[in-house]
Structure 1
Amino acid sequence: MINPMPLYHEMYRQMGPQYWWPADSKMEIVIGAILVQNTNWNNVDMALTNLKDETDLNVTQILGLPIESLQSLIRPSGFYVNKARSLQAVLKWFDQDNCDFVRIADKYGSGLRQTMLKMPGVGEETADSLLVYVFDQPAFIADKYARTLFGYLGFRNLRNYSKLQQRIKLPKSFTYQEAQEFHGLIDEFGKQFLKSRKDFEASFLGGFDKHVLDL
């Protein structure tokens, strides 16, 4: 098992707060979490701007769009046919409870993550991102940057999302705010230092002792 907290504290000390996820509303986060799959944020930003201009990200208005119009608006994010279908399904699910995030969390309880995973286009990373940023629940988001980081730190067999997440042991005191910060820290670090092992070794984590993370 891996205790990630020494790493979190070192990254926070070096980089400061990241204030993730950058968005004006939780519904923007929901939509962004679908659109960001298999693309970069610049493309998502263009798609979000199109949706904002057309619907102001109003769920009723988005669901009222013909599927072809929705596909056209989100086209910059790529895979727009599948993403439009996923977006409709996810927004319909939220709309069933009037997009009341607290009510939805209470309704599904510990089964919330599994319920989201049953929706089209919602994988583990998307579900955990929604848990952390929309439902204010702590979770470790084991995205590609996280897997690369822990791999460079010397941990092996992190081939996929669940392999890393299952090895992370978060303390009971870990808050959703810390989960948001940790995800933001890792992704911002990744953009700067995880393009190659050489970049990583030159970073402030290049000499980090992985043994302090062992449980």
Structure 2
Amino acid sequence: MATKITADQIRHIYSHFKANQVHPGKWPAENPVELILGAILVQNTTWTNVQKTLDNLRPITGFDAEKILALSTEELQELIRPSGFFKNKSKAIQSSLQWFQDQNWDFDAIATRYGRHLRNELLNLHGVGQETADVYLVFIFHQVHFVADAYARRLFGYLTGTEFKTYQDLRKVVEIPDDFTTQDAEDLHGYIDDYGKLHKNPEDFDQSFFGGFDL
């Protein structure tokens, strides 16, 4: 297991992305509700299936939390069926939306209320695991965190020669630079995911702009 991926190494990777992959991917959401939906729905499926689900929800709810919460569980499950695991995901959607609704969607107040315990509070929500919690922190609360998703684990596995089997395996060894901004955190995630969608195996990696990269 890699001992640490240092802040300097993260800066080096980030700079290499910026020099070779001009535009980082953005999370495809127009408001926080749509982002929450996407973060939950994408668990254990492809974004193609998520998009089908969002296309089901958009005309009926307009991604309005009150309208989604007003749906019966059965109605919600039928709408999100394309994303799979619809029973568990319906509970997760209801749990997250109700939690934010109860706190008036005031993200600054929520962050102040929970402080450094915010991540643990998010992890207590039904269906919110480490990846979803970190996505909320980066893209809703605009905090600096590292999203150690499958694309990140694969890339850092190539770069370090270490297999990161779980989310925590990678997350615990990454040191985020102190001077990283919230935009840097969002862009790094976007760069990694866009790269991962195109480079899916060691051969792709070797032929990419990270082939021969000196970490």
Match of 1:104 in 2: 110
Find 2:178's aligned residue among 172, 175, 200. 172
For 2:70 and 2:33, locate their aligned partners in 1 and report how far apart those are by CA, in whole Å: 16
1:197 aligns with 2:202: yes
For normalisation by structure 1, the TM-score amounts to 0.94
For 2:165 and 2:74, locate their aligned partners in 1 and report how far apart those are by CA, in whole Å: 36
For 2:101 and 2:139, locate their aligned partners in 1 and report how far apart those are by CA, in whole Å: 18
The answer for unaligned runs of 5 or more in structure 1 is: 211-215
CA distance 1:200–1:157, shift in 2 (3 Å): closer
Find 2:86's aligned residue among 80, 87, 97. 80
The answer for unaligned runs of 5 or more in structure 2 is: none
Find 2:5's aligned residue among 2, 5, 25. 2
- The percentage of counterpart residues that share the same residue type is 45
Q: Structure 2 matches for 1:109-124, cutoff 5 A?
A: 109-124=115-130
4+ long deviations beyond 4 Å: none
Q: Contact (CA 8 Å) 2:152, 2:192: kept in 1 or not?
A: yes
Q: Contact (CA 8 Å) 2:33, 2:97: kept in 1 or not?
A: no
Task: Read off the aligned partner of 1:159 and give its amino acid letter.
Answer: K
- Pairwise CA distance, 1:209: 0.7
- Pairwise CA distance, 1:19: 4.7
- Pairwise CA distance, 1:111: 0.7
For normalisation by structure 2, the TM-score amounts to 0.94
Number of aligned residues: 209
Find 1:132's aligned residue among 109, 127, 138. 138
- Pairwise CA distance, 1:55: 0.9
Task: Read off the aligned partner of 2:191 and give its amino acid letter.
Answer: L
**2:197 is paired with a residue of what secondary structure?**
helix
